Amino acid sequence: MSAVQPLLMRNIEPADHDALAALWIRAWMLTLPQIRFDERELFIRERFHDYAQPPRHARVACNEAGQPLGFCLIDTNLNELEQIVVAPEFWGKGTAEAMLDDARCLSPDRLILTVNRDNPRAIAFYRRQGFVETGESVSPRSGLPLLHMEWRAALTP
């Protein structure tokens, strides 16, 4: 799948935080309505600060008008994709794939992630992108089942 419009990937700036926190809440409340993500706004705002310096990276995908369509957080020490989120109105349009390609530039050999088992859309996306399941656990915070997944460049045809 290719992006429907040219996307610019850049580092998240403090001026982006309000819009991206709102985007994150909106996307997640649609994905897992059983969790009050609106009550977790502080969590994601702290994450923006925690990922402002290497080896952590906070990246936003914008369209030509400069509108943020989604963002991701990557820890290149852990090779971890900590967050990836796209505004719901842009789901299925290649934004997530473009962000993952950007994450793979930062962590070219391997990426690991944790996803809620009750998130079939994200799991289908990751599988399509070559991630495989490596384990399971339970979220200590929500009590929901989690899936651990990994992508390795060496295993990608």
Ligand X SMILES: CC(C)(COP(=O)(O)OP(=O)(O)OC[C@H]1O[C@@H](n2cnc3c(N)ncnc32)[C@H](O)[C@@H]1OP(=O)(O)O)[C@@H](O)C(=O)NCCC(=O)NCCS
- Integer CA distances (angstroms), 128 to 8, 13, 61, 125, in order: 23, 30, 20, 5
Shortest CB 67 distance to ligand X, Å: 16
Q: Does 91 interact with ligand X (rule: CB under 6 A)?
A: yes
Residue pointed to by tokens 């997944």: 149
Stretch that binds ligand X, among 45-53, 82-90, 102-110, 132-140 (CB under 6 A): 82-90
CB-nearer residue toward ligand X: 148 or 152: 148
Shortest CB 58 distance to ligand X, Å: 15
Q: Does 121 interact with ligand X (rule: CB under 6 A)?
A: yes
Q: Does 100 interact with ligand X (rule: CB under 6 A)?
A: no
Site string for ligand X, 125-144 (x = CB under 6 A): x--x----------------
Q: Does 117 interact with ligand X (rule: CB under 6 A)?
A: no
The DSSP 8-state label assigned to residue 13 in this structure reads -
- How many angstroms separate the CA atoms of 48 and 72, rounded? 10
Quick check: 71 and 59 in contact, CB under 8 A?
yes
Q: Which two tokens stand for residue 41?
A: 């706004």
The DSSP 8-state label assigned to residue 82 in this structure reads E
Q: Does 120 interact with ligand X (rule: CB under 6 A)?
A: yes
- Secondary structure percentages of the chain, helix, strand, coil, to 5: 40, 30, 30
Chain residues that interact with ligand X, rule: CB under 6 A: 1, 27-28, 31, 84-86, 91-92, 95-97, 113, 115, 119-122, 124-125, 128
